[in-house]
Structure 1
Amino acid sequence: MTRLTQLHVERLRNLQDLDLEPEGGINLISGPNGSGKTSLLEAIHTLSLGRSFRGSQPNELIRHGAVDLLVRARVQEGAPRLREHRIALQRDRKTLHLRIDGENVTRLSELARLLPVLALHPQSDDLVLGSPDHRRRFLDRVGFYALPEFFDCHRDFLKVLKQRNALLRRGRRETTWETLYIRSAERLEAARRDVLDKLVEQVEGLAPKLFPKGALSLRYLPGYRQDLDLATAIEQGRERETEMQSTLFGPHRADLKISIDDQEARQVASRGQIKMLVTLLHLAVLDLWQKARGEPAVILFDDLASELDRDNRRRVLDFLSASGHQAFISVIAADALDDDGRIDARFALADGQVRKMV
């Protein structure tokens, strides 16, 4: 199983230098506003992805007056034989240093592979309410873990897109790059559709337990008219692209349509429904990753008690207890979830310092 067994944090936001030894199940982090609960979750997210889930600039994570930050951890993976890895991330205001088992590495994806993390927080509603960019990034993140070939598809498309845009800015079109663009775009689109099919299967399995009211549907919109193929869309939009000096059709303009009872969720769902819909989608991703990798993952819930009502909190905690995923949940009051489900370990934060509660 994937499990964070030790966490060490230095010089990150308002946290004092701290060490944490979490349990493999549900870890509750409690403390008053400003105590550092969210910062602790940010530390875990940053170790996996190199950035905070709050959208902050990476340098903003460095404690005021410090020159860098450090997060390191021990992670267990593999079943039935467990393997332990030591991973570390150090960031100053210009450079990022990564290490796995004492060796320098250059790609954040290598840390993310060992510590797959999803975060749910007050801004997660943007998955439903925000721009298409939020939904594209969500779907691509699922793909990175669920499909071995997805990373290469995504990387290759972005490279070709960048070159094609550079040519358009110079008023040029080259057949070779047009062909490469369409080929790489179609590969990425096919991979995204494959990912979405797998995600829909997980959503359909979880929805009766976590979202029993309303029929959910997810549909991929490719970034051009759906009655056309990409080559035709580009040909018909050639003058617009020349005028705008930019690629206007393709996966970088795609969207994920999220509907309830065949109506767009952002138009008909209540605030509570949106919260639970977003939660359901993230938990479905965890199960999809587990199915694809053979191991559970890590999920971060920032301020769960205020984000979901009691019935939905119980549904989520019951799911997590049965799933094998490791969870870190922040709350203000230490007893906020006492009647909602099983908690495996409790930690209290005050003035940036953490202690384990008995």
Structure 2
Amino acid sequence: MESTRQTSPPGNHSTMTGFILIGFSDVPGLQGFLFGVFLLIYVIILMGNTLIIIITKTDSLLQTPMYFFLGNFSFLEICYVSVTIPRMLRDLCRQNRHISILACAVQMYFFLILGVTECFILTAMAYDRYVAICHPLIYPLIMNYRRCVRLAAACWISGIPVHIGFTYQIFSLPFCGSHQLNHFFCDVPPLVKLACGDTFVTEMLTYVIAVIVVTTPFLLILASYVKIISAILKLPSASGRAKAFSTCSSHLTVVTMFFGSGCLVYLRPKSSHSTGMEKILSLFYTMVIPMFNPIIYCLRNKDVMVALKKFIQKCSNVL
């Protein structure tokens, strides 16, 4: 296997040209199978989220704050998976899995930024449901179009300055050992593992940022749902309670899967890190969850299902 390891003295990483992404090369007999599975998942993600974007933009019944954020979330999912999956598919088809330092830094930066944006958009969606269920009379006033746009914009841009500095911090570390990255994309834990010298500051910074952008949004979502569930249980009719629960269940399912896997990767103690487990968890939140998200939102939401049927019928009529 090709290596980018240089003959420079230990500690000198100025001549380093990049990394080798090991990916799934340890199972050479499954390369073709994995390529087919991952390509199918990628196509499903693109098609499913594109359909949601189209119907939330074109169907008059879905012109509400809830579906405005769902459209943003679907576009985000397309961007999020496109940072990692195309590169992984390419690596499964070739022997040379070299990635330059710049390409690795860019991939990690956009992966982190889009991951943070997903945390914030899921929080905004929880806030929208909280206002709709707990304060229905003033919901149109609070969640007006201008406020929704500003809230979405804040979700997209708020993590940018933080992760510029964090990415610089990661790639300022000396990588003086092996340059073989035992992962399928450039992520923080495997990169820190390759660093030599004292990585305490970087590890602490990772935990602090994870608490700010992962744990804090999750706690805000949890607080929102405590109030939402309390308000739903006070509704007089069973049908009203069922309808309120149905509008929240899909979002709550996605939140549980995404934040659960993210916390397991970024908030676990370093001593408990396992390369195999990290790859599985990374596959879960970079591919499996984005694949199920449009399915969850469609199957568990009657309005989306109705709009989807209308869209498919229009397309069939045109054809």
Same fold by TM-score, threshold 0.5 exceeded?
A: no
Identify the structure with the greater helix proportion: 2
Identify the structure with the greater strand proportion: 1
> What is the TM-score of this pair, normalised by structure 2?
0.30
